[in-house]
Amino acid sequence: MHNYFLLSDTEKDLQMMVREFMEKEVAPGLGEYDEKSYIPDEIVQMGIDMGLHCMNIPAEYGGMGLTAREMSIIREEIGKVDAGFSVTMGNNCLGVTPTMIFGTEEQKKYVADIVVPGGFNPFCLTEPQAGSDATAIRTTAKKDGDDYIINGRKCFITNGDRGDIYIVFAYTDKEKGINGGMSAFLVERNLPGVSVGKHENKMGLRTNSTCDVIFEDVRVPKRNLVGEEGKGYQIAMKTLERSRPLGSATSVGICQSVIDLCIKYANDRVVFGKPLAAKQAIKFMVADMEIQTQAARQMVMYASDLIDHGIYDGTTGSCVKAFCSDTAMKVTTDGVQIFGGYGYSKEYPMEKKMRDAKLFQIFEGTNQIQRVVISGSLFKRS
């Protein structure tokens, strides 16, 4: 069970259900999917049928209504096989959170009625000149009677091409800046002026689609404003506080799969007449992988338990995100080293693990930004 000793029967059932699905349905064709940068729609539909796209939508609205702990267990299992698929399914948790936390009852039902049957709700914050610095977005939403007119271009949008409804962050009053000037809106894909732009040809997470989403004079009714006008930046940051620990579970899944692959390879590979596993240098590298992975997993579970107790600590979330993604990069780099030349070859799975791990140090706020958040919080408390 990979160091999960305190799982409830429900958690174990969820873990095994997802593990069997990933090993049976996703793993066999993964090399082709990665090479061609896609994943078959039928596999995505299987994930939808299992409810993996609506894990955090409450049961009262038709979703799975899972705890953060349960979602972390599931996302580790998905990440062990393919981090890209974990992002495809898990990103809906990010997208629906603003509405589920800050939206009206009507908005919650509105979004759930689109997402639960199989829809996607991409989170549209990043722009070409506004990545970690979300304050630099240029998308605007100008009031026009009882509507807002949205103009702007979002980039690096996960599931942008699959989106049925977007959560879009835009300035309603640029002069007020982030404290009163940015707002959040629900924007349906089929509205005039909404279009999908270029798809990114990424180094890793190639089974997940990432693309531009463009808004040109898109008229959105006032009822689609999520939360209060001017509270968009705060909504975005509070959403990320909740999502970072859950996304980090995928990094843990990557690490665990690398450990499993390295142990098997080291046992099978013979050098100088003995298995590679007989070499202390290799044993110690694998031991360090295990130490780091266990630490990362416990951080994820701790942060998830905090969320389930209603505690949303941004400093903890940033610590988890930075540590788990840095660990994934270290573990996959060492995994490639253990595999040697084969680790550098696409014939073996290790190089994909390394490519996939890298993005977790970048998206949802780079790890440098996480350190800014962590240090700023510590010195502010002092």
Residue 1 lies in a domain: no
CB within 8 Å of 204: residues ≥ 6 apart: 83, 84, 352, 354, 355, 356, 357, 358, 359
C-alpha to C-alpha distances, 320 to 172, 289, 296, nearest whole angstrom: 33, 17, 7
> Is there a single domain that holds both residue 133 and residue 87?
no
Q: What is the CATH number of the domain that holds 99?
A: 1.10.540.10
Q: Is 7 helix (H, G, I), strand (E, B) or coil?
A: coil
Q: What is the pLDDT along the chain (382 residues), one digit of tens a residue?
A: 455 678 999 999 999 999 999 999 999 999 999 999 999 999 999 999 999 999 999 999 999 999 999 999 999 999 999 999 999 999 999 999 999 999 999 999 999 999 999 999 999 999 999 988 889 999 999 999 999 999 999 999 999 999 999 999 999 999 998 889 999 999 999 999 999 999 999 999 999 999 999 999 999 999 999 999 999 999 999 998 888 888 899 999 999 999 999 999 999 999 999 999 999 999 999 999 999 999 999 999 999 999 999 998 989 999 999 999 999 999 999 999 999 999 999 999 999 999 999 999 999 889 999 999 999 999 988 7
Domain span at 198: 123-230
Looking at residue 114, its pLDDT comes to: 98
Question: Residue 381 has what pLDDT?
Answer: 85
202: closest CA among 321, 35, 90, 86? 35
CATH code of 341's domain: 1.20.140.10
Find, among 110, 123, 108, the residue nearest to 160 by Cα: 123
Q: Is 8 exposed, middle or buried (0-12, 13-18, 19+ CB in 10 A)?
A: exposed
pLDDT value at residue 1: 43
| Distance of alpha carbon 322 from alpha carbon 244, whole angstroms | 9
46 within some domain: yes
**What is the C-alpha to C-alpha distance for residues 300 and 249, in angstroms, rounded to an integer?**
6
**Per-residue tokens: 99:** 């509405």
Query: Could you tell me if residue 94 is inside a domain?
Result: yes
Per DSSP, the three-state class of 375 is helix
Residue 3: per-residue pLDDT? 56
Q: Are residues 374 and 257 in the same domain?
A: yes
Report helix, strand or coil for 168. Answer: strand
Residue count (the chain): 382
What's 200's DSSP letter? Answer: P
Q: How far apart are CA 54 and CA 112, in angstroms?
A: 9
The yes-or-no answer on residue 70 being catalytic is no
Determine the longest span between alpha carbons in the chain, in angstroms.
Answer: 80
Same domain, 107 and 146: no
Let me know whether 110 and 130 are in one domain.
no
- The four Cα atoms 368, 370, 372, 375 give a dihedral, to 10 degrees, of -130
- Quote the CA–CA distance of 163 and 228 in Å, as a whole number: 24
Q: Which of 76, 127, 229, 364 is catalytic?
A: 364
- What's the total number of domains in the chain? 3
Residue 14 lies in a domain: yes
pTM: 0.95
**Residues 6 or more apart in contact with residue 372 via CB below 8 angstroms:** none
Give the Cα separation of 277 and 266 in Å (integer). 5
Using the 3D structure, point to which of 204, 230, 256 is the last residue of a domain. Answer: 230
Q: Are 131 and 102 in contact (CB under 8 A)?
A: no
- Neighbour-count burial of 3, counting CB atoms closer than 10 A to its CB (0-12 exposed, 13-18 middle, 19+ buried): exposed
Residue 223 carries which DSSP code? G
C-alpha 57/C-alpha 96 separation (Å) is: 8
Helix or strand run (H / E) with residue 66: none
What number of other Cβ atoms are within 10 A of residue 110's Cβ? 19
Do 352 and 250 fall within a single domain?
yes
Q: Are residues 218 and 276 in the same domain?
A: no
